[in-house]
Amino acid sequence: MDKIKISAVSYTNTLPFLHGIRHTDIINKIDLSVDIPADCAQKLIDNKVDIGLIPVAATLDLPYWEIVSDYCIGANGPVNSVFIFSNCKIEDIRTLQLDPQSRSSNNLARVLLKNYWKLDPKLVINAPDYTESNDPNTAFVQIGDRTFGKKDKYAYVYDLAEEWKNFTGLPFVFAAWIANKKIPAEFVAELNTSLKHGLDNRDVVIKELPARTDFDLEDYLMHKLDFDLTDDKVKALHLFIGYLKSLQKLTF
């Protein structure tokens, strides 16, 4: 059988999964690439890979998709790496610049703005530098490692997993292991075992990371991120996709 092609996320949040994959025999059965989330999604859409740890918002662009793992990148409350950073209160934001590496969180911001905050700022895709603006009423979405240590630098910081929980009472799934075709059950079982091995060895992963004083990596990987794809997370995933379908599609 040809090797199964897999694209995984290149952020710290995925290091436990990569540890599991690289330290179990599954590594010999797959072609693994590590990409920013937007590229994980695009590779699965373009059928360059069979499975991706893709932003769940990208399922709208897949004619066929199925979840192939019991694990995900999720959070039940604050996640500490998905934010709107702003110098004004949320209700005063007139322009929101989106993160080009994200698909889920940009759309989560849109869902929350419309349905929770009842706001309608102008959205900017592909701003030359989306994190910079001279306008005090322009804010931005940012995800992943680039947010580490930035929380104290802005007057207003909105953790989008926390805000989703305030809105729905549910956890949130940012990315899930999704296939664009049927995958044999034995492979799915092996993938789950390998991902679990990585999660069970998070202490090793944490020790290997360069220490930093401005961000608590242990708290992030052990507590803020919530990797089990529980029934509540699946419910949240479908609720989110439902909200997304009622919004105009964003084209990056």
Q: Rank residues 29 and 220 by Cβ distance to ligand ISJ and give the closer one.
A: 220
**Among 124, 49, 73, which Cα is nearest to 237's?**
73
The side-by-side arrangement of strands in the sheet containing 66-75 is: 30-35, 4-9, 51-55, 172-179, 66-75
Q: How far is the CB of 185 from ligand ISJ (least distance, A)?
A: 26
* Six-digit token string for 81: 């790496």
Residue type at 176 in one-letter notation: A
Q: Rank residues 26 and 160 by Cβ distance to ligand ISJ and give the closer one.
A: 160
Q: Rank residues 3 and 238 by Cβ distance to ligand ISJ and give the closer one.
A: 238
Q: How far is the CB of 37 from ligand ISJ (least distance, A)?
A: 3
Q: How far is the CB of 9 from ligand ISJ (least distance, A)?
A: 4
State the SS3 of 44-107: HHCCCCCEEEEEHHHHHHCCCCEEEEEEEEEECCCCCCEEEEECCCHHHCCEEECCCCCCHHHH
Q: Rank residues 52 and 121 by Cβ distance to ligand ISJ and give the closer one.
A: 52
**Angle ∠(7,9,76) on CA atoms, nearest 5:** 125
State the residues that interact with ligand ISJ by CB under 6 A: 9, 11, 13, 37, 55, 73, 79, 81-82, 102-105, 143-144, 174-175
Q: How far is the CB of 229 from ligand ISJ (least distance, A)?
A: 14
Q: Rank residues 14 and 86 by Cβ distance to ligand ISJ and give the closer one.
A: 14
Q: How far is the CB of 135 from ligand ISJ (least distance, A)?
A: 24
Q: Rank residues 187 and 227 by Cβ distance to ligand ISJ and give the closer one.
A: 227
**Angle ∠(237,239,243) on CA atoms, nearest 5:** 115
State the SS3 of 120-143: CCEEECCCCCCCCCCCCCEEEEEE
Q: How far is the CB of 95 from ligand ISJ (least distance, A)?
A: 19
